[in-house]
Structure 1
Amino acid sequence: MRYLAILSILILTACGVDGEPERPERAAPVAGLSISGTAEIGISGSL
């Protein structure tokens, strides 16, 4: 139990060592060609 308490304290003290979290910058969309949609292939029929 003692080792679990020490391990918990060590893990909690490691949080935020490098400072507050920073929001990543938004990547600019790349200009160019974009294609979207669906395609279906199959066989249909009745007997």
Structure 2
Amino acid sequence: MWKLTRPDNRHDKLVRDTLLDLQNHHLVRIETVQEDQRQVWVLTR
């Protein structure tokens, strides 16, 4: 998400923290890790 809105930034703490919070509530999970170490997140059921 942040890469689309802020392509020059290498890191977005707000998005990361939000995804981690959603992961703690079992709403998202990491699907895969790309070659550049970025994680691909997906919604859970």
TM-score, L = length of structure 2: 0.31
Which has the larger strand fraction?
A: 2
TM-score, normalised relative to structure 1 = 0.30
- RCO higher in 1 or 2 (8 Å CA, sep ≥ 6)? 2
Whose radius of gyration is greater, 1 or 2?
1
